[in-house]
Every structure is written in C-alpha cells, then in structure tokens.
Structure 1
Amino acid sequence: MRDPLVELHNFGRDPYQVQPTSPRQWIARIGSGTQYPGVTSEQLSILQDRRYLPSGRHDYPRPNELVSSNEAYQSLRDFLSNSATDSEDRAHDRLENAWNMNHATPDLFIKIFNDLNELLFDNQLYNRVFLTWEDLPDELLGRTGSRSDCTCCPADRIQIQLDRAMFYEESKSKIWGTLVHEMLHAYMFVVTDHESAHGRDFERACRALGAALGFRGLRGDDIFHEEDD
C-alpha cells in the first residue's frame, strides 16, 4: 500500500489537481466539484450506477456483429479520420476547455467521459461503462474489466477503475491519458468481446486517439504507457 503521508507530500506537484475535501468529490454530480457543461445529471447517474441495465437488457451489450482485433482497430482509425460532425466539434471544444482549466477535482474525469466517447469512440461505450475512482494496487493507474473477469459489476457492464493515488501523484496529461487508455480497452471489449493486449496495434490506436484530441501537452505516450496497465 502507498504511504498516505507520501501521497500528501506529493500532492500538488501539478497545480492542476485540487485536493478533494470530501469523499463526495470522487463522485460526479451536477452543481458540485468541477463544472462541466456537456453532461446531464441522468447521464452521470447511469455512468456511476453499477445496477443500470442498458436498454433494459440483461445481457452483455454488443454491436450486432463482433469483429476481430485487427478489424476493430481499423474501424477506429477510419472513424478518427472522418470529418467531425457539429456535435463532435462541440464535444471537442468542451473537452479542450476542460484541458485548459487551471484546476480540476476528480469528478471532472467522470463528467468528460461521454464527450470523449462521442469524439473518440463513435459512442460505442454509451451506457455500457461503469466508471469509478478506486484504491488500486501499487503501480496500477487504471484497469478495465468485462463480465468474464470483473465480479464486482453486472454482466452487462464494463467497469473502468481509475486509481485515486494517480490523481495525487501524476500529471494532468497522465490522468487524461489513463482515462482514454482504459476507454480503449473498454471499446475493444465491446466490439470484440475480449481483452486487448498492449501490442503494436494498441499503441498505434493510442497515438491516433492523442492526435484526434490534439491538446498541447497530451502525447500518444501519455495514453499508451504500457508498463502501467
């Protein structure tokens, strides 16, 4: 376990992070924490509710046809190379404003999820992911699980967990990069129904996602970081 005194000592090396003053700041709610205009109270409730069943179905939500990993990566690259819609442009503007904020609390990274999903993953993760901040094992910044290896959430959800200590200890770019990294794993679970390895295709996808965001200071390496997942 990490020494909490070390966590407090290291906190604030990046002035972007604001230390949570209440456990509630690890949970995203409209009207509290860091404000973000691109999400509704209902969307936040679904995103953080492990009991929610997408579309009323009690089975793992999949596209009509599953594809191979190679096909999934190609489909993602094709989507990212398309011209953005007006809705995607608005999502990008909101995300860029959040990236340029001087300060943020942990709830922001739940609030930006749906805009990242629309801009980067063609909404494939909408209502399919349960997102939380957790105390993860040392050196693990985040993890993603499907029904086959995650017993803490229903069969029809994919859970993304972000490490609370990461928020204290890592840079803004690493926190954003870790969220997108785990979303890529979730995307692969949805469209292929199996976990994606950190191979060359995964690395290329991470770099393509970073390029699609185009934020100054956020690199493909911040999203890939193979050793941390």
Structure 2
Amino acid sequence: MKILIVEDEVGIGKPLQKSLERHGFAVDYAQTGKEALKLAHIYQYDCILLDINLPEIDGLTVVQQLREEANTTPIIMLTARTQLYNKLEGFGVGADDYITKPFHLEEVIARIHAVIKRTCANKNTSLQFGGYELFPEKNIVVSHAKNDKKIILTSKEAAILEYLIRNNDRIVSTEEIIEHVWDREVNSFTDSVKTHIKTLRQKIDPKKIIINTIRGKGYQIQL
C-alpha cells in the first residue's frame, strides 16, 4: 500500500514515515499543502494522512481541492485540535476519518486499513475486461467466451490484474505495481512483476492482446 503523510512537524512526520515503512507500507512525505497537492497529482495513493495546520495551503483546503478534482483517495486528518467543530469541518470538506495527536501507531495503522476497506467496499465486486470478469476477493476470473469457465489466480496475480483494470486508461510502471500490490518492499529490479505478468498471460492472455507491455514504461490492459 502506498501512503502519503503530510505533516509540517518533522519530529512527527519522519518517525511516522519510518514506522509505517517498517510495517510494510510504501510512504511519501510532504511538509506543506502545496507539496501534498503536487504529489497527489503525480501519484496514486491508497491513503493520505493529512495535518490540518500546514504552511502555504492548510489541510482543509487540500482536502477540498482534491475532492473538487474528483480525487477519491481516503484521507485521514491528523491534528492536535479536539473541538467538535474542527472534526465536523474536516468531514464537511470530504475527509474520511480523524485522528487526534498524540496518537499510537497501532491506531493509525488500524484506521488506514479501515478507510481503505470501506472505500473498496463501495467499488464493484467484479470487473469486466476483454470478455472476462475478475472477482478480486475470490481470486477468480470467469471467461464468458468459454462457457463461463473459471480460472483460478494467485492472490498476487489477482491484485496485479485488478490494479491494471482500475487504471486501464494509462500505462502502469513496474515500480507502481510493486508499491500498490506488495505489502513489503520489493526490489524493483527483480523479476517479481515480470514473472507474475507471464503467469497471468499463460492463464488468460496467451496471445498477448489484453495485457500490453510498453517497452521501458510498464504495462497497460485493453478492456
């Protein structure tokens, strides 16, 4: 999972970044609202941990702008404020959850998993592509062209396929797949992604017409 932490206090942000990385998250760190918006426009995050009191652009404005741009990434507000109206203000502009400082790492991790799970629950339970239908939670692909034949995938194969389908409008790099599919850091120079793409093709795309390799850039799926 890829997380963005936005916290102007380095003494809070950096230790949180290192702690989440030790728990298997890929983490980017920003200290200003302006930098947060820039990163959110470049990368796709699974969750954003966002402080309210930020220099240049405050956290509430960051949330509001992202939501106006139809960015649905789950956002958890981090703040020292405890008043009810601050929480309501955060929820009002589109925040998904709220954690008051000081906080425990276990609580942060639990909240991250909870908001991501809620977001995924709102998505379709199956995904259509090229005459097939993927059921991510079951790791199964159904081939409608072959009398609804069921094809069993590994959890990693299903996760890679799901990520490619959900991002079908663009090329997805090997590094991005690693960051979003693997729970722990994997060397991007290994053949992990390449190997899983190969087995996926053997199962659903032997003619290589659905999953395209874009040399030097990554992969893109044809729906």
Judge same fold: TM > 0.5, yes or no. Answer: no
More helix by share: 1
User: Based on CA coordinates, which of the two structures has the bigger radius of gyration?
Assistant: 2
TM-score, scaled to structure 1 = 0.26
TM superposition score normalised by structure 2 = 0.27
- Larger fraction in strand: 2
